[in-house]
Structure 1
Amino acid sequence: MKDKDFRIHIKIDGRAYPLNINRVDEERYRKAAKIVNETITEFRKMFQGNDQQDIMAMTAFQVALNFTKEQERHDYSQFIDDIKDLNDDISDFLIEKEQK
């Protein structure tokens, strides 16, 4: 069997979802399912009486929010721009110093 033909069943809120995945990604998929299930449980406790669609919508929103926060933590573009500016300043300084 090829790695990409590995079949697992992920349970989300008690429902099983069969997935064909790459074998090396199994732990990532199971961890993601665990996070979703834990988030559903938290929202059920916080919003007792809300219907299932509200709980799922809030869960999806929370997971997406955490994803965007993680992306921002790894955004080094401003840092790279600052280093380029600093490099330009140093180059300009050295050019001026050579001209004196």
Structure 2
Amino acid sequence: MEEATFQITVQVAGYRFPLNIKRDEEILYRDAAKALKEKLDFYQHRHPGLPYETILILAAYHFAVTSEREKYQEDVDPIVEKLKLLDKALEQALKV
């Protein structure tokens, strides 16, 4: 059964966007809009002379790097878990 959607409106970079989303994802969308606003404010404060288009690009690039970093971290997590298991097994074998 498909989950029902409802409409929220978020404001991003001075634009209002109506979005149809799943109710349990509302906080995700609202937090994303908040994070983007904070990042735009950060870059505007840090580089007051840059055109707003450049500020948008910097913020987009920041989130792209963050997304890629998370992908790499996800790729490493299973290996780390296996290494922990092997370490435990090795410790037990050496105690005997």
Displacement of 1:3 in angstroms is: 4.5
Q: Where does residue 40 of structure 2 map in the other structure?
A: 40
Which residues of 2 match residues 64-79 of structure 1 at below 5 A? 64-76=64-76, 79=79
TM-score where L is the length of structure 2 = 0.74
Give me the whole-angstrom Cα distance separating, in 1, the residues matched to 2:36 and 2:30.
10
Q: Aligned AA for 2:18?
A: P
Residues 54 and 4 (structure 1), Cα distance of their counterparts in 2 relative to 1, 3 Å cut: farther
Q: Structure 1 length as normaliser, TM-score?
A: 0.71
- Give the structure 1 partner of residue 15 of structure 2: 15
**Larger of the two Rg values belongs to structure:** 1
The letter of the residue matching 1:79 is: I
Match of 2:27 in 1: 27
Tell me, which stretches of 5 or more residues in structure 2 are unaligned? 87-96
For 1:98, the equivalent position in structure 2 comes to none
- 1:43-90 per-residue CA deviation (whole Å, 9 max, x = no partner) reads 00111111111010111000111111111111138728x76xx8xxxx
Tell me: CA distance 1:76–1:22, structure 2 relative to 1, closer, same or farther (3 Å): same
Question: Aligned pair in 2 of structure 1 residues 4, 58: CA closer, same or farther (>3 Å)?
Answer: farther
Which residue in the other structure is 1:91 paired with? none
Comparing 4-13 with 22-31, which one deviates more in the overlay? 4-13
Q: Which residue of 2 aligns with 1:62?
A: 62
